[in-house]
Amino acid sequence: MSRARPIRIVNRRPGGVLRWCLRIGLLLVLALGVASALVAAGAYVHFSRDLPRIASVDDYRPPTVSRFYADDGRLIGEFTIERRVVVPLARMPRHLIEAFLAAEDKRFFGHDGVDYRATIRAMLANVVAGRTVQGASTITQQLCKTLVGREKSYARKAREAILARRTEHRLTKLEILYLYLNQIYLGHGAYGVQAAARNYFRKDVGDLDLAEAAMLAGLPPQPGRLNPVLDFEGARERQRYVLDRMVAEGFVDPATADAAFARPLTVYGELVSVFDDRAPYFAEHVRKHVQETYGYDALNTGGLRVFTTVDADQQRAAQTALQSGLHAVGERQGYTGPVTHLGESERPAFLERATALYGGPGALEPERWYHGLVTAVERGEAEVRIGALDARLPLRGGMRWARPFDEEAEANGGRLADARDALKPGDVILVRLNRGSRFADADPPALALGQDPPVQGALVSVEPRTGHVTAMVGGFDFDQSEYNRAFQGCRQPGSIFKPVVYSLALDRDHTLATPIDDTPIAVYDQKEQYIWKPKNFGGRYKGTVLLRDALIRSMNIPAIRVIRHVGPQAAAEWATRLGITTPMYPDQSLVLGSSCVYPWDMVRLYAMFAERGRALRPAFIKRVETRDGHILEDRSRFTDPHAPLDARLDGLLRAFAEPRPRLLSEGTAYLMQTALRQVVEAGTAVRARRLDKPAGGKTGTTDAYDAWFVGFTRALATGVWIGSDLNRRRLGRGETGGKVALPVWLDFMKQALAGVPQADFTDAPPPTIAWHRIDVETGLLAPSGNRALNLPFKSGTQPTEEARAAGSFDNRDLDLVEGRF
């Protein structure tokens, strides 16, 4: 019998099992670590994609303002989607920087872009509260937030943290502060501290005091809601918080903080803009060109510097002259009523806004128009408040014209006898400082009543030699209407078109002494199926007149005879050749201005006359530069004293290499210059002689809806149009180009050419021209003793026959008598 085999029990040590467990655990931990590292690396790579690169402050290219400048460097316009002006840290006051540090990131100089302690503290506070009650973004993170987007998500937070760390490694703390304070949005359209200082306080950032700096430093958390324009009290609470934080951080002592908080602040609600009151129509015209040429982004984010041809002083003179002329027409047409009427509850808010807009005003500017509130009215005057300033509006010398327009009589209905018939308390009216001598030192200041004119106008001026457009006004008020009538308003030109047709006749076979029939005429219009009977202004006829007299007296019948001679189709084609860009309807009424034209086209054409037939090469821009000074466009000419020497020399070479095309022969152009000069000396524009400088030009009027004057000297060609946009309102009885438009031209030209001598453009005639003494009645050579005038003729076109001596008897007279009897 075999013995059972004993079971052997092996005693294994427990330490071996533990080692295996530890090994497995370590492997798992290692695997998890590797996986976590891979996930973290993948997340880092994922969230790092397309992050902005900031290797140095030189890479900082924020959207910034494009600026337009007048020819003397004065700012005339700004264009941007983010109103930002980048300024160096050195220009910012120390207390401004300290205010932002105390309010936004007290450990700024101690962290590496992310404040982990603050982050954990904020997370715990938010978890306990169940909502976001505390933030922990550092200044570096806030800067990065503006670069990676503002959506609220963990992904954005991760990208923000990564970029913050990178930024801290690549930039110094002071460079980060520089970027942050120029980048941060501070409400009311202001990006960066300089734009905010200008918007809210009308100050340069370097001039901000502690109270103002603390208010700006309180804006970053909620700039769109708690800015001092929208919520002044809320902004004051934030200001108090910032000052308390500055005390806690040891930047200021409590007494200084309390004094700053107690200081009254003046906050301006209106955005700073030079666009509206300097050259709005000009700046807008240039803006369109820049945007079409370089694109929307370059204009609105690229910080371009555009140097224009506008003369700031001439532009101001143009605006003043046109507005004064429109007001004068408005007064002759009568009072149309107040701008609006306010109830008692609305008046305090209006006065508060006016005070902010006008900066008080402490005193009234002589040529500026203000919106005032009528507070009381008596028979002889009204009391008016302009913002915080009290003034008086006298009946005599201030508003006697304010009677309603008599539609039937087409004239003002008389003189106002009682101020209460026109005004009542609560009326908002347009007023300016009264220029009457008896009101010079009045206290309170005396006013003159105005109104938004019932008609519109335009003025544009150009240097014929250089082509530089120096002034442009497209309407009474850009804020009311951006429609630029100088370039967009197609209006019937009336008699200012006659020189176009006369120049064709002179270029062919007529002379200034050609006799023209001036007897009544009837024209059958086949298109309209009616008989047209044009008349001279005033209904008088001369029988026969010289072409020169017909032009300077603006006679209609001789003009019809001339266009019949040259042909309406040829006249229409000639107008296009001379630079008219609008369609010309080729009928006989064309010579009287029946086809509409742009004022700018007529100014170009008259500038061509001033330049002896050379085409105008217009320029609105001298130079366009990038924010770095790289030149994109340079039209500087040697005539520009502000251009660098090399640019002027280059312009000189180009001027000789590319001569302006000749549209009229020099001889024909000289004849036109002479005739237009005599329009001023003895014709319908004789009022222009008050300029006391050699000038030429032409008046124009069309059915009392349009009044024109286009004239020129050696240095400037300027055109003025005044009329009704949609022919809704006639200018009134007797309102001609000479009465309405010419005074505006004269007012402008006196200011534009003050102290600037003007040579006579008819001096030094071309060699093809000779002057002859001409009989005023017949246009023949004048014998001694006859009434005569000197006229220029192109070689070979002068009359060869001599007129009869005054008082002599010719056999032809006897033949005529015998024939009649």
Strands 530-532 and 523-525, by their bridges, are antiparallel
Helix residue spans in 105-192 (DSSP H): 116-129, 139-148, 154-170, 173-183
Beta carbons of 138 and 114 less than 8 angstroms apart:
yes
Sheet containing strand 717-723, edge to edge, reads 469-473, 456-462, 717-723, 706-712, 696-702
CA gyration radius for the chain?
A: 39
Q: Is 78 helix (H, G, I), strand (E, B) or coil?
A: strand
Tell me how far apart the alpha carbons of residues 594 and 592 are, in angstroms, rounded to a whole number. Answer: 6
Distance of CA 737 to the CA centre of its chain: 26
Beta carbons of 617 and 604 less than 8 angstroms apart:
no
Tell me how far apart the alpha carbons of residues 351 and 358 are, in angstroms, rounded to a whole number. Answer: 10
**Hey, what are 677's tokens?**
């000069």
HSE toward the beta carbon, residue 401, CA cutoff 13 A: 17
777 part of the active site = no
Catalytic one of 495, 503, 595, 636: 495
**Hey, what are 84's tokens?**
């930002």
Catalytic one of 104, 160, 284, 331: 104
Tell me how far apart the alpha carbons of residues 199 and 214 are, in angstroms, rounded to a whole number. Answer: 16
HEC profile of 716-740: CEEEEEEECCCCCCCCCCCCCHHHH
Q: Which residues pair with 341 in a beta bridge?
A: 427
Residues in the chain: 821
How many other β-carbons are positioned within 10 Å of the β-carbon of residue 34?
Answer: 10
The DSSP letter of residue 496 is G
**Hey, what are 258's tokens?**
């309390």
**Hey, what are 448's tokens?**
């003159």
153 part of the active site = no
Q: Is 445 helix (H, G, I), strand (E, B) or coil?
A: coil
In the chain, % helix, strand, coil (3-state, to 5) comes to 40, 15, 40
Tell me whether the omega of the peptide bond preceding residue 361 falls within 30 degrees of 0, making it cis.
Answer: yes
Tell me how far apart the alpha carbons of residues 267 and 256 are, in angstroms, rounded to a whole number. Answer: 21
First-to-last CA distance in the chain?
Answer: 190
Ramachandran quadrant class, 359 (left: phi over 0; alpha: psi -120 to 50; beta: rest): left
How many other β-carbons are positioned within 10 Å of the β-carbon of residue 766?
Answer: 15
Catalytic sites, residue numbers? 104, 495
